[in-house]
Amino acid sequence: MDELKASGKPFQISKQEVWDAWLKVRENQGAPGADGQSIAAFEEDLKGSLYKVWNRMSSGTYFPPPVKAVEIPKPHGGGTRVLGVPAVADRIAQTVAAARLEAAVDPVFHPDSYGYRHGKSALDAVAACRRRCWERNWGAPG
C-alpha cells in the first residue's frame, strides 16, 4: 500500500482502489470460481495476489478468466437457472471497474433514475410515485 498511484502504466489504477475492492469482495464471501481458489486461498498470498490484479489492470493486460457455471434452483420451483461465479481476482477487478463507472456516470443520471444505483431501490421509486400521486389531482383537468 506504499505507492497509491501507478507510475509508467497506461491506466491509472491505484493500489488503494484494488485494496478497497478486495475488502468488499472479502466481506461478501462467495464461492470459488472456475480456478477453484477460495477467499481463504487468495488471502494466503494476499500481497502477491492483489499486486497481480493491480499490475494487470493498470498495464491493460487484465483479461477475465472463465466463469464457473453453477445451477441453482429457481424460487418457488420451476427448475433451475445458471449462475456464473467469477474467480476471486475477477470479482476484485469487476469491483474496481464498477466503482470507477459509478463515479463517472452517477452524477449525470437523472435524479429519478432508480435502477441499479447505489443508495436507491425499487422501493424508493415506488415511494416517489406514491408521493407524486398525492401532490396532484389526477382526475381534474389542467
Cell of 24: 468488499
Alpha helices by DSSP H, the chain = 15-28, 39-44, 46-59, 88-105, 122-135
Is 0.75 surpassed by the pTM of this model?
A: yes
For residues 61-68, average pLDDT: 93
User: Please, which residues bridge with residue 80 across strands?
Assistant: 73
> Are 93 and 136 found together in one domain?
no
**24 vs 115, which has greater pLDDT?**
24
The residues, ordered by sequence, that sit 6+ positions from 31 with a Cβ below 8 Å of its Cβ are 38, 68, 70, 85
Structural domains of the chain, count: 2
For residues 13-42, average pLDDT: 95
For residues 63-92, average pLDDT: 92
> Are 69 and 134 found together in one domain?
no
> Are 28 and 86 found together in one domain?
yes
Q: What residue numbers bound the domain in which 21 lies?
A: 15-108
> Are 28 and 87 found together in one domain?
yes
Q: What pLDDT shows up at residue 1? A: 46
Q: What is the pLDDT of residues 79-125, one digit of tens each?
A: 899 999 999 999 999 999 999 999 998 889 888 888 878 888 889 99
pLDDT band with cut points at 50, 70 and 90 for residue 2? very low
Cell of 103: 463515479
Q: What pLDDT shows up at residue 7? A: 57
